[in-house]
């Protein structure tokens, strides 16, 4: 984010359907109970904008708006909603409309809605869906959460190897059950194994008599239904893919993942990374306060344990502090500098892992070595400045020396721990971003206080 | 990131061209000086994998590898490289190969390479590029960095309104200068203003006699060449776009942005967000240590100022601490809890701003109110636990009460400041993620120490 978010007023309003003005208009129309006005304002909006509008309203307004637009409600809107508001809206539109929505949506979006429901509701809704769709949905729900199987849509265009461009075009023109949008034609063998893909742009500019087998891309990168969605996202990023085939255990083509789904995954993962990093837990932005508070408790608790350990370290040096109170004054500097230098390293390593610039199995010592060197450089500079400053401030050169020594120790440690902690978590198959901040600062607080007070006890008493 | 990164060994290796084994093989082949073996290993790789391979090698190995593959070098490889390694490789392949690469690449990728060069080099390279391409590149370079103009490619397919599907297909078959891949046909009026777009899949399944004007999407969302790339990314995300037209000041169609470019932007912005958050600055992962250290100095300096202020607050209460050393033992708890509760809030608000769930101009007090309530809930719980714990530990109930009071104050403050700081930065058009962590903890450290030691001075002496 360089200089963004805030140009909204100037250059964005005209590309978005939902303006601040329109939201105000809807607020007023709802307050006035003017059904005609509400319909007039909401009707031209894109489903994504209706979703944003619903999120901007109070629950009571939301209820009234849904009552008005219920029968013209675009099922796509549900896909764009955050979880909390979505559950509310699904409740409001009722099971019948919901079953309709699920039948209309692409399988990936439909499964997205279904997976949040409890078993009883899920069963009831599925019963009202046409048998053919139902089977696809039930199968989709058997794939693990956040897997390629959940992300893919089953709607795709597969053609046999012997087809020509002309035959394909005729087939597409005659077909009634095609996906809304597709970007590649998948060429399959008689066992329905994908053997190639033809970008539509390539098919369109080839002559009618050209065989698809002669123009197809054979370097397919089919993913398995069980592949994790983040791995899928990385694959798209790595090779600049627009769509990729998904295959089952017997390598048969069962679906396709398109890049627009991947955009959402990348975004979701980025969000999880930042929130996990500070230990804010995963709740959506519209969740009620008590739920948000609960999601954050775990890492506050870890922070508390951390602080308690730091306190008990300090307690060991009570006598030293009683002697030299300046130590209590200066000790937060050691902890803060180590902590900040450490989270800089952790953030760098977490991102390098997320973007596969570093693999958990890559040469640990090469990565560690670099970060230790980086922090040693900064430690040397800051320790010199701060040590001199403290020596002058308290007119006590040994004190300045002890402070500088503790800082160098703590910042170099931060370079080491900031690399080893996330890489070790990754090797243990734990998300390296989870609580990386609190974890790291535990070590820099505890060791920072220990080093500073310990050196002081050794050299200043 | 849920449970990822680390399944690499199991389910990923087969979809990626670059395996750990292959990297080892190349290391060995380079060490043996076996040109044939190097070529054999590298030849089948995708450009993205060659880029990763180059990044995995030492500078010396890189030099040798480039010497071997120089004449079969795929220009696309350059687009996939991180900045530091890219500059090295551009140096190695030499100006002639570079000019060739720039002529071959799509305009957006070519400009990406050019913008990093110094003026002299840029001019020299541009001189070797065919006149027609040169003009497009020079114009591209006039657009602001990180703008839609830089992101777009000029290669697109525009057709007049009166064309039928059949005419379009014939036109595509006859054209020699088409982009490699495209997903939409843009319909333009005689002034070259975009009036609609037709997804290829729709064109392909319509009969030859159907007019494009009758099947085109008229709800275009053309972006201006000057729009910031993050706004562009948000537009794609909001409406699930695959490509969008770019227009100049007189609304003429000048280019197209496709979703694969946007994937890179979203990823880049997520990276910047996390690194900016901890104040790690923007360097790429392969930059030399001294450069990385320099990028991080700024926020370490801010942290130091912060810590110095905190120290001077503590100094004011030297007499109190001399009296009750337990205060020095407990004070890090107040700072740590406030700091962690605060960064949780800041991270949540920064993400809400980045994804436009909150606009800088939305109701400040509604957002603030919620975060204050969330933190007040957690503050009440933790203050009760910690206050009681400290009272029992030091057998001093007034001390426990003061600790609890300071914690409640600091955590509620963290909820307030954690919301107001990023929203205010956003209103001032400063990236709200920049140094959000260090900023926030300045306030929670200083106020935490002040509240705790102040209350202690009032009630415990």
Q: What is the 3-state secondary structure (H, E, C) of chain B?
A: CCCCCCCHHHHHHHHCCCCHHHHHHHHHHHHHCCHHHHHHHHCCCCHHHHHHHHHHCCHHHHHHHHHHHHHHCCCHHHHHCCHHHHHHHHHHHHHHHHHHHHHHCCHHHHHHHHCCCCHHHHHHHHHCCCHHHHHHHHHHHHCCCCEHHHHCECCCCEEECCCEHHHHHHHHHHCCCCCCCCCEEEEECCCCCEEEEEEHHHHHCCCCCCEHHHHCECCCCCEECCCEHHHHHHHHHHHCCCEEEEECCCCCEEEEEEHHHHHHHHHHHHHHHHHHHHCCCCCCCCCCHHHHHHHHHHHHHHHHHHHHHHHHHHHHCHHHHHHCCHHHHHHHHHHHHHHHHHHHHHHHHHHHHHCCCCCCCCCHHHHHHHHHHHHHHHHHHHHHHHHHHHHHHCCCHHHHHHHHHHHHHHHHHHHHHHHHHHHHHHHCCCCCCCCHHHHHHHHHHHHHHHHHHHHHHHHHC
Judge contact between B389 and B447, C-beta under 8 A. Answer: no
Record the tokens describing residue B385, joined without a space.
Answer: 């636990």
Judge contact between A227 and A147, C-beta under 8 A. Answer: yes
In-domain check, residue B268 = no
For residue B74, is pLDDT > 80?
A: yes
Q: Please list every residue in chain A whose beta carbon sits closer than 8 Å to the beta carbon of residue B358.
A: 285
In-domain check, residue B89 = yes
Q: What is the DSSP string of A127-176?
A: HTS-HHHHHHHHHHHHSPTTBHHHH-BS---EEETT-BHHHHHHHHHH-S
**B223 and B330 co-located in one domain:** no
Give one word for A281, left, alpha or beta, with left for phi > 0 and alpha for psi -120 to 50.
left
Instruction: Kindly report the CATH number assigned to the domain that includes residue B328.
Output: 1.10.357.20
Q: Which residue of A has its CA nearest to B204?
A: A169
Chain Cα centroid distance, residue A119: 27
A165 — pLDDT class (breaks 50, 70, 90)? very high
Of A277, A347, A445, the CB nearest to B332: A445
CA dist B406 and B400 (Å) reads 10
For residue A396, is pLDDT > 60?
A: yes
Number of domains in chain B: 3
Instruction: Flag if B270 and A272 touch (Cβ within 8 Å).
Output: no
- pLDDT the model gives residue A123: 87
Record the tokens describing residue A1, joined without a space.
Answer: 């984010």
Q: Please list every residue in chain A whose beta carbon sits closer than 8 Å to the beta carbon of residue B325.
A: 318, 321-322
**B211 and B93 co-located in one domain:** no
Domain span at residue B381 reads 289-460
Q: Is A281 in a helix, a strand, or coil? A: coil
Judge contact between A362 and A441, C-beta under 8 A. Answer: no
Q: Which residue of B has its CA nearest to A381?
A: B297
- pLDDT the model gives residue A380: 96
- pLDDT the model gives residue B2: 35
- pLDDT the model gives residue B108: 84
- pLDDT the model gives residue B450: 96
In-domain check, residue A47 = yes
Of A49, A299, A335, the CB nearest to B340: A299
Instruction: Flag if B431 and A9 touch (Cβ within 8 Å).
Output: no
Query: Which range is least confidently modeled, A9-13, A82-86, A326-330, A380-384?
Result: A9-13
**B323 and B380 co-located in one domain:** yes
- pLDDT the model gives residue B127: 87
CB within 8 A of A166, min separation 6: which ones? A208, A209
Instruction: Flag if A340 and B278 touch (Cβ within 8 Å).
Output: yes
| A277 CA: distance to closest CA in chain B (Å) | 9
CA dist B146 and B190 (Å) reads 30
CA dist A256 and A275 (Å) reads 30
In-domain check, residue B275 = no
**B113 and B193 co-located in one domain:** no
In-domain check, residue B184 = yes
- pLDDT the model gives residue B18: 83
Give the side-chain half-sphere CA count within 13 A for A249: 1
Report the Cα–Cα distance between both ends of chain A, in Å, rounded: 50
CA dist A259 and A223 (Å) reads 14
Q: What angle do CA A330, A336, A339 make, to 5 degrees?
A: 145
Record the tokens describing residue A355, joined without a space.
Answer: 């973007």
Query: Which range is least confidently modeled, A167-171, A305-309, A422-426, B5-9?
Result: B5-9
Q: Please list every residue in chain A whose beta carbon sits closer than 8 Å to the beta carbon of residue B10.
A: none
Give one word for A356, left, alpha or beta, with left for phi > 0 and alpha for psi -120 to 50.
left
Q: Please list every residue in chain A whose beta carbon sits closer than 8 Å to the beta carbon of residue B348.
A: 275, 280, 285, 292
Contacts across the A-B interface (CB distance below 8 Å):
441
Instruction: Flag if B303 and A273 touch (Cβ within 8 Å).
Output: no
**Percent above pLDDT 90 for chain B:** 52
Averaged confidence pLDDT in chain B = 88
A14 — pLDDT class (breaks 50, 70, 90)? low
CA dist B5 and A224 (Å) reads 16
Residue A137's alpha-carbon distances to A80, A93, A176, A177, in angstroms, are 19, 21, 21, 17
- pLDDT the model gives residue A222: 92
Which tens digits make up the pLDDT trace of B314-354?
999 999 999 999 999 999 999 999 999 999 999 999 988 88
DSSP code, position A188: E
**B232 and B377 co-located in one domain:** no
Instruction: Flag if A201 and B205 touch (Cβ within 8 Å).
Output: no
Judge contact between B18 and B45, C-beta under 8 A. Answer: yes
Q: What angle do CA A86, A88, A92 make, to 5 degrees?
A: 110
Of B173, B351, B441, the CB nearest to A274: B351
Averaged confidence pLDDT in chain A = 88
Q: Please list every residue in chain A whose beta carbon sits closer than 8 Å to the beta carbon of residue B175.
A: 205
**A319 and A386 co-located in one domain:** yes
CA dist B20 and B27 (Å) reads 11
B16 or A68, which is more confident? A68
A223 — pLDDT class (breaks 50, 70, 90)? very high
CB within 8 A of B215, min separation 6: which ones? B165, B198, B202, B203, B206
For residue A5, is pLDDT > 70?
A: no
- pLDDT the model gives residue A190: 94
Instruction: Kindly report the CATH number assigned to the domain that includes residue A232.
Output: 3.10.580.10
Judge contact between A210 and A220, C-beta under 8 A. Answer: no
Q: Average pLDDT of A375-394?
A: 95
**Percent above pLDDT 70 for chain A:** 97
Domain stops at, among A98, A119, A146: A146
Q: Please list every residue in chain B whose beta carbon sits closer than 8 Å to the beta carbon of residue A351.
A: 271, 274-275, 285
Which tens digits make up the pLDDT trace of B236-268?
988 888 889 999 999 999 999 988 888 888 888
Query: Which range is least confidently modeled, A250-259, A347-356, B450-459?
Result: A347-356
Per DSSP, chain A holds a count of helices (H) and strands (E) of 21, 6
With tokens 């002309």, the residue in question is A166
ipTM of the complex: 0.82
Instruction: Flag if A353 and B276 touch (Cβ within 8 Å).
Output: no
CA dist B351 and B334 (Å) reads 26
Record the tokens describing residue B196, joined without a space.
Answer: 């609609």
**B446 and B310 co-located in one domain:** yes
Instruction: Flag if A4 and B308 touch (Cβ within 8 Å).
Output: no
**A295 and A424 co-located in one domain:** yes
Instruction: Flag if A178 and B201 touch (Cβ within 8 Å).
Output: yes
Instruction: Flag if A275 and B314 touch (Cβ within 8 Å).
Output: no
In-domain check, residue B2 = no
Q: Report strand pairing: B184-188 vs B194-199.
A: antiparallel
Mutation choice for A interface testing from B45, B54, B290, B336 by most A CBs within 10 A: B336
Report the Cα–Cα distance between both ends of chain B, in Å, rounded: 50
For residue A316, is pLDDT > 60?
A: yes
**A120 and A242 co-located in one domain:** no
Instruction: Kindly report the CATH number assigned to the domain that includes residue B108.
Output: 1.25.60.10
Give the side-chain half-sphere CA count within 13 A for B429: 7
CA dist B358 and B219 (Å) reads 26
Q: What angle do CA A382, A385, A391 make, to 5 degrees?
A: 130
**A309 and A387 co-located in one domain:** yes
Chain Cα centroid distance, residue B42: 30
In-domain check, residue B263 = no
Judge contact between A5 and B228, C-beta under 8 A. Answer: no
| B2 CA: distance to closest CA in chain A (Å) | 6
For residue B11, is pLDDT > 50?
A: no
Closest CA to B39 of B16, B61, B67, B68: B68
Instruction: Flag if A263 and B308 touch (Cβ within 8 Å).
Output: no
In-domain check, residue A11 = no
**Percent above pLDDT 70 for chain B:** 97
**A164 and A142 co-located in one domain:** no
Residue A116's alpha-carbon distances to A92, A112, A286, A353, in angstroms, are 15, 7, 16, 30
| A16 CA: distance to closest CA in chain B (Å) | 8
Of B12, B266, B325, the CB nearest to A266: B266
Instruction: Flag if B173 and A207 touch (Cβ within 8 Å).
Output: yes
Domain stops at, among B95, B121, B147: B147
Q: Please list every residue in chain A whose beta carbon sits closer than 8 Å to the beta carbon of residue B202.
A: 181
For residue A11, is pLDDT > 50?
A: no
B50 or A287, which is more confident? B50
Domain stops at, among A223, A248, A274: A274
For residue B435, is pLDDT > 60?
A: yes
B67 — pLDDT class (breaks 50, 70, 90)? very high
Judge contact between A227 and A148, C-beta under 8 A. Answer: yes
CA dist A257 and A244 (Å) reads 5
Instruction: Flag if A228 and B432 touch (Cβ within 8 Å).
Output: no
**B299 and B427 co-located in one domain:** yes
Q: Please list every residue in chain B whose beta carbon sits closer than 8 Å to the beta carbon of residue A344.
A: 275, 278-280, 296, 299-300
Judge contact between B76 and B104, C-beta under 8 A. Answer: no
């Amino acid at each position: 984010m360089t200089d963004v978010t805030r140009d909204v007023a100037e250059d964005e309003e005209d590309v978005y359907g939902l303006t601040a003005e329109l939201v105000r208009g809807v607020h007023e129309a709802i307050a006035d109970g003017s059904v005609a006005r509400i319909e007039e304002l909401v009707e031209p909006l894109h489903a994504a904008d209706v979703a944003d509008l619903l999120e901007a309203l109070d629950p009571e307004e939301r209820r009234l708006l849904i009552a008005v637009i219920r029968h013209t409600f675009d099922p796509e809107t549900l896909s764009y909603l955050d979880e909390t508001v979505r559950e509310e809206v699904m409740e409001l539109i009722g099971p019948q409309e919901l079953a309709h929505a699920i039948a209309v949506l692409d399988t990936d979006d439909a499964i997205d809605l279904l997976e949040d429901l409890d078993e009883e509701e899920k069963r009831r809704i599925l019963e009202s869906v046409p048998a053919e769709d139902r089977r696809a949905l039930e199968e989709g729900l058997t794939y693990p959460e956040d897997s390629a199987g959940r992300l893919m849509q089953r709607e795709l265009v597969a053609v046999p190897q012997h087809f020509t461009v002309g035959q394909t075009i005729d087939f597409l023109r005659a077909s009634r059950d095609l996906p809304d949008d597709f970007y590649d034609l998948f060429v399959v063998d008689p066992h329905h194994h994908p053997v190639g893909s033809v970008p539509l742009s390539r098919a369109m500019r080839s002559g009618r008599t050209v065989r698809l087998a002669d123009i197809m891309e054979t370097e397919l990168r089919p993913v398995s239904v069980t592949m994790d969605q983040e791995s899928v996202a990385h694959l798209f990023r790595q090779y600049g893919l627009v769509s990729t085939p998904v295959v089952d255990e017997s390598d048969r083509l069962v679906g396709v993942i398109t890049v627009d789904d991947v955009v959402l995954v990348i975004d979701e993962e980025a969000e999880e990374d930042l929130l996990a990093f500070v230990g804010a837990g995963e709740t959506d932005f519209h969740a009620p306060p008590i739920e948000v508070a609960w999601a954050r408790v775990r890492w506050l608790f870890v922070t508390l344990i951390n602080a308690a350990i730091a306190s008990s370290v300090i307690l060991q040096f009570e006598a030293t502090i009683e002697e030299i109170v300046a130590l209590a004054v200066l000790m937060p500097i050691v902890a803060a500098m180590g902590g900040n230098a450490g989270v800089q390293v952790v953030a760098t390593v977490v991102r390098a892992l997320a973007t596969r610039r570093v693999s958990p199995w890559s040469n640990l010592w090469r990565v560690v070595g670099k970060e230790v060197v980086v922090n040693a450089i900064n430690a040397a500079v800051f320790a010199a400045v701060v040590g001199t400053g403290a020596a002058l401030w308290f007119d006590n050169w040994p004190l300045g020396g002890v402070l500088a020594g503790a800082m160098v120790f703590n910042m170099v440690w931060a370079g080491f721990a900031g690399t080893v902690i996330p890489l070790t978590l990754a090797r243990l198959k734990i998300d390296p971003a989870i609580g990386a901040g609190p974890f790291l600062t535990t070590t820099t607080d505890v060791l920072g206080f220990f080093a500073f007070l310990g050196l002081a006890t050794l050299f200043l008493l």
